[in-house]
Amino acid sequence: MAINMDKIREKYNTLKSRGGNSSQFWRPDDGSETTLRIVPTSDGDPFKEFFFHYNVGKTAGFLCPKRNFGDSCRVCEFVSQLFDDGAEDSIKMAKSLTARQRFFSPVFVRGEEDKGVRAWGYGKTVYETLLNLVLNPDYGDITDTDDGTDLVINYGRPPGAAFPHTKIQPRRHNSALSDTSETTSELLESVPDFDSLFDRKTSTAVAAILDEFLSSDEAAESTSSETTQYSSGPQATGSQTTSVDAAFSELLGS
């Protein structure tokens, strides 16, 4: 039987829409040590903050319209209703759907120069560590292209830990971003556009995703009768993290 090209194109487009173009991202391998440089951005803020909703059906993590753009968000409204309900199952579901804070920076990985500048996603603990480095007078502007600081990233899962940990160690000596001004200019021009790094869903689209999730039975094992009153379809269900959500969540440093 011949391949159904329409279905293949649909799968490809779906993959590309989930979390952006993977070639634009860098993530450390478990048990790895990597040296990289955070690259400055044109607006002077290389630490970008986003809020994502996860676990909403089969849809991969997506930007929260309210926390990122000030638009209405049905998921946030639903989360508030669940917390107001107060039932144990409702609160459990609310926590799984609450928008989560993630941070991104443009990075240039030493030893992978051919891949250019990519986006590194990380959580709040790493974010605080990076801010402390910048505010430390011994380091200051670690992104300075002429006299900045490379960072050594140790990433791995300690024995008994549920998730990998990230340890950051700044290099003792400052250095230039690259060997030539021409290369530096090229790197600065190749910094990812963070405004378009992730697909921005409208409030209407997010509402449709939530409605589809609440009318599905994919999380039947966590079904809660307390959430039925909030669903426009059949009985609402709890949450279940898909493999795509799990991978995306780990990419972002959860």
Return the higher-pLDDT residue of 190 and 13: 190
Q: Measured between alpha carbons, how far is 82 from 79 in angstroms, rounded to an integer?
A: 5
Q: pLDDT grade, residue 13 (50/70/90)? A: low
Q: Residue 246's pLDDT is what?
A: 46
Enter the pTM of the model: 0.76
Chain segment 72-94, per-residue pLDDT in tens: 999 999 999 999 999 999 999 99
Q: pLDDT grade, residue 9 (50/70/90)? A: low
Tokens of 180: 């030539």
pLDDT mean over 241-246: 42
The domain spans of the chain are: 26-251
Is 70 exceeded by the pLDDT of residue 243?
no
Looking at residue 190, its amino acid is S
Q: Cα separations (Å) of 97 from 2, 45, 71, 80, 124?
A: 41, 28, 17, 10, 18
Please calculate the CA angle 91-237-86 and round it to the nearest 5 degrees: 20
Q: For CA atoms 242, 247, 249, 250, give the dihedral sign.
A: positive
Q: pLDDT grade, residue 4 (50/70/90)? A: low
- Are the CB atoms for 176 and 51 separated by under 8 Å? no
List all residues 6 or more positions away from 243 whose beta carbon is below 8 Å from its beta carbon: none
pLDDT mean over 9-35: 71
In this structure, which topology does domain 26-251 adopt according to CATH? Replication Fork Single-Stranded DNA Binding Protein (3.90.198)
